[in-house]
Amino acid sequence: MTRILIINGPNLNLLGVREPGIYGNSSMETYLETLRSRYSNYTIEYFQSNHEGEIIDKLHSEGFDEGLKGIVLNAGAYTHTSLAIADAISAINVPVIEVHISNVHAREEVRHRSMISGVCCGVIAGFGMDSYRLAIEAIKAR
Ligand code: DQA
């Protein structure tokens, strides 16, 4: 089965608990069940890390796999700081879609800049957890 990989960065292990007014009440695990039943023709894999280097290692280890159709990446705060993650995305072959739950452009100015947008295929932000589903639709349509 065709694979899609979702990677979540720092603090996104706390979805459902963390600032629910911004990020909602659903845990990622619960939301993944919804995604997996909706996209049962795909294998939706999930990886979360609070560590920049682990995210880079994951991009390297998966990013040359021809069976992987796309990577949905919510790099969390590393979005705004990590040239190293941007370089990793540039280095790999698998297309990467940048995702944010919140509309980062409606928030503090520090969140308006993304280090990774220019090396991703596209960006989806502001649709709550549905941002992940919209990214999967974008990967499917490619
Ligand atoms: C986020 C937005 C980032 O600015 C923030 O640091 C996050 C989550 C989002 O999904 O809205 O951790 O990527």
Q: Which of 116, 137, 136, 134 is nearest to 125 (CA)?
A: 134
CB of 72 within 6 A of ligand 1: the answer is: no
Q: In what order do the strands lie in the sheet with 68-74?
A: 42-48, 2-8, 68-74, 96-100, 122-125
In tens, the pLDDT along 31-67 reads 999 999 999 999 999 999 999 999 999 999 999 999 9
Catalytic residues: 23, 100
Place of tokens 């990467």: 96
Residue 128 scores a pLDDT above 90: yes
The pair of structure tokens assigned to 80 is 């705004």
- What value does the mean pLDDT of the chain take? 97
Q: Whose CA is nearest to atom 7 of ligand 1?
A: 76
Among 6, 11, 49, 74, residue to substitute to test ligand 1 (most atoms within 8 Å of Cβ): 74
Distance 125 CA to ligand 1 centre (A): 9
Exposed/middle/buried for residue 56 (C-beta within 10 Å: 0-12, 13-18, 19+): buried
CA–CA distance, 26 with 14 (Å, rounded to integer): 10
14-17 LR contacts (CB < 8 Å, sep 24+)? 15/101, 15/129
For the question of whether the overall pTM of this predicted structure is more than 0.85, the answer is yes
Q: Could you tell me if the CB of 11 is within 6 A of ligand 1?
A: yes
Mutate to test the pocket of ligand 1, among 17, 102, 103 (most ligand atoms within 8 A of CB): 102
pLDDT given for residue 1 in this prediction: 87
